[in-house]
Structure 1
């Protein structure tokens, strides 16, 4: 979430009813930011209160411990969000200012929404949230490989706004296994997807499981190959929220329609602190080994994973931006290397003969639960962390956990013999039956999958 821009004295968002505040011209036909501005409310910069921390999986040992976090926001009654409601809301807000969009998001979801902060220029999101006068939460992914300047910037932002950023960390065991197997710099040869999956995507999944909505700094001009169609608000196509299942999480992108230089004009006008790496030529800022400055005239994303195809500059946090046609038949994104999923020592990778043997066996030694998947499917990626944890829990229990890649040449077979309807499809093979039982629910959290298994064992 980061960009490059040119300066000007003020930034204006068009409207029929404009309003100037603190040297910045905002607009909205019905939004009155000054009514809840920090000055009007006499809100101090230093604010703290007990907040419900991101706690995606309460039964996990690595869940975030509740602490004095950002700012407490009251629970919101509006729980069920229909897809058509979000589409209509996106249409209504398409021409709204970022401030109005932010205000609507915080109003609608209260303490069940949080800002994703990367330590780059998406600090603008925090400033917008502060200007609404509403309580807000902020979380960030600490991959363990960020620049020192980024960590210093986190501290500066916390002190500026009187908040506590809620950090999500990768699983230490997974990182250790990755480094021991592939080394510290595997991504230069194999592509960045596997490392990002361990250090960023899985921690993000845990964070989002504790929310109903999240706020990102995505913009259409950041990556023409993957973000040109980003909406200001959408049902998240790749991750699940606290209610579980497809459509349980909403993603807000308040600056989707804002040009990069306008973001920077806003930051300068409001005297918002920024990461010192920007002054060194860094625009889009990620992990230290995978980020470098860009030259004049280069696109901002060219500084990210510069050794890979420029059309697929996504780490997996916004995997839903990648479309199936951008993925080749081997499950690799634009030739960037292997991008298989559900990788764990406790998950058996079943070949076509292997899955056929399961179908033939009427008296198995163990029961099996198997996922039929496609590496390019965002819903498969959304359940990956839960499925890996399920496999770890079932290790040595008498239930084997498998996966079968059912796209491409195997799709017709899977549809005819394995009840494949859409990806992912989950099947349970009982010990004394050759006919697998299909998991009927869209909830793919560990507890729901375990309940399904226990009911059939």
Structure 2
């Protein structure tokens, strides 16, 4: 089966690149060309697509196109080739990842590449291989990846006989960030600035050399932010080779696939996977910002764990993040069904919790969860928290809840040690300040041990 993968694109770095599985002659690249129509509404933009003439080649042969061939593509339009990607997404809603991958490679040829970050993204490479069509792979090396991730990159290159096109952050920008704010500033002021320097800007440079890209996004990766990912779309954020808003197409072949099915596919095909998965890591990013998750926790809880669920994105897929302000009325926090509803759980207002903070000698200890009803991690611990409240009823410990999102979020951050949802605090009878529950174990026994040791 023929494979073709380039190293750094000439449009990105200006260097030549090699290809596995091509004829021995030196050939010029026939560029797919895309032309925006006059439509102004982004979701309805149409493109004229002339596909690369992908041929079957042996792995042992190679060819080196001139970099100049990537600088001035010819624009052609033929009847019947105008594509509405919003409608195409609807047509492909029941298609398999293999069908979607085949369609993407067929349409864009050498002007499309797979975004590979390790973890389960190797499934995308396997699907591309199964199509029999040439394909390209690029990856963002932030400089702070786990050693296991680098070893996976090497194993994937050897497995598929390819060279991944690595993109690196600008050294001057990284140097300025670290000198001004230190190596771990993201723990204090959020991860967005670091991700912007190390990931988003390198990605922007990579995509400027393409007309389409393929990602491993899934709807179930982050229900709070990725639940509306389409299979194919005009990229709403990044620009492609032709420049301008709407000049890039984004494919998400795994959008409708559940994580368990992806893993079944990986095991069946016996492909390389990141060794960190065996240590409890599910969603894997940079080493300082990734940790294992416990059974029952959502996979994204291991990413940027010090921030709440709504912040667990790095900016690479900003256009697919479901923003709270732009959500429908049914999905806004005010309309979400309330949780922790029990006669044994006291609901505290801001005034009530401020009064509790002022008391130095309390008659009873108070256990309080800072929560947001839309948060899937809060929802997941609801049953155990209510059961704990039942066990502590009449035993000198009040169990309460305080909704800490929206207008109360800044107060909770500054006064109640809120880092992410849920945050659990205990106000002991004798201690003046609250003590934060430090563990990710939210089962009844673990919480009971915490209470009994500190009440």
Asked if these proteins are the same fold (TM beyond 0.5), I'd say yes
Identify which range, 211-220 or 76-85, moves more after superposition: 76-85
CA distance in 2, matches of 1:183, 1:174: 13
Q: How does 1:280-299 map to 2 (within 5 A)?
A: 280-299=279-298
In the other structure, the counterpart of 2:252 is: 253
* 1:80 and 2:35 are equivalent in the alignment: yes
Aligned-residue offset at 1:197: 0.1
Q: Deviations over 1:301-341 (max 9, x none)?
A: 000000001123110100112355459xxxxxx9xxxxxxx
Aligned-residue offset at 1:68: 2.1
Give the alignment's TM-score, normalised by structure 2: 0.58
SS of the counterpart of 2:238? coil
Identify which range, 68-77 or 85-94, moves more after superposition: 68-77
Whether the 8 Å CA contact 1:56–1:205 is kept in 2: the answer is no
Aligned-residue offset at 1:117: 0.3
Larger RCO: 1 or 2 (CA < 8 Å, sep 6+)? 1
Whether the 8 Å CA contact 1:233–1:252 is kept in 2: the answer is yes
Aligned-residue offset at 1:225: 1.2
Q: Deviations over 1:113-165 (max 9, x none)?
A: 00000011110000000000000000000000000000000000000000000
CA distance in 2, matches of 1:209, 1:189: 32
Moved over 6 A (4+): 70-73
Whether the 8 Å CA contact 2:9–2:165 is kept in 1: the answer is yes
Aligned-residue offset at 1:251: 0.3
* 1:54 and 2:9 are equivalent in the alignment: yes
In the other structure, the counterpart of 1:178 is: 177
CA distance in 2, matches of 1:81, 1:93: 22
CA distance in 2, matches of 1:74, 1:132: 21
Aligned-residue offset at 1:52: 7.2
Structure 1: give runs of 5+ residues left out of the alignment: 1-37, 58-62, 328-333, 335-457
* 1:67 and 2:17 are equivalent in the alignment: yes
Give the aligned CA root-mean-square deviation in angstroms.
2.1
Aligned-residue offset at 1:183: 0.2
Whether the 8 Å CA contact 2:226–2:322 is kept in 1: the answer is no
Q: How does 1:213-292 map to 2 (within 5 A)?
A: 213-292=212-291
CA distance in 1, matches of 2:187, 2:260: 31
Whether the 8 Å CA contact 2:8–2:166 is kept in 1: the answer is no
SS of the counterpart of 2:267? helix
Q: How does 1:336-375 map to 2 (within 5 A)?
A: none
CA distance in 2, matches of 1:257, 1:183: 40
Q: How does 1:140-179 map to 2 (within 5 A)?
A: 140-179=139-178
Whether the 8 Å CA contact 2:7–2:164 is kept in 1: the answer is no
Q: How does 1:85-164 map to 2 (within 5 A)?
A: 85-164=84-163
| Alignment CA distance shift 1:71-1:291 (3 Å) | farther
Whether the 8 Å CA contact 1:71–1:136 is kept in 2: the answer is no
Q: How does 1:354-433 map to 2 (within 5 A)?
A: none
In the other structure, the counterpart of 1:398 is: none
| Alignment CA distance shift 1:275-1:243 (3 Å) | same
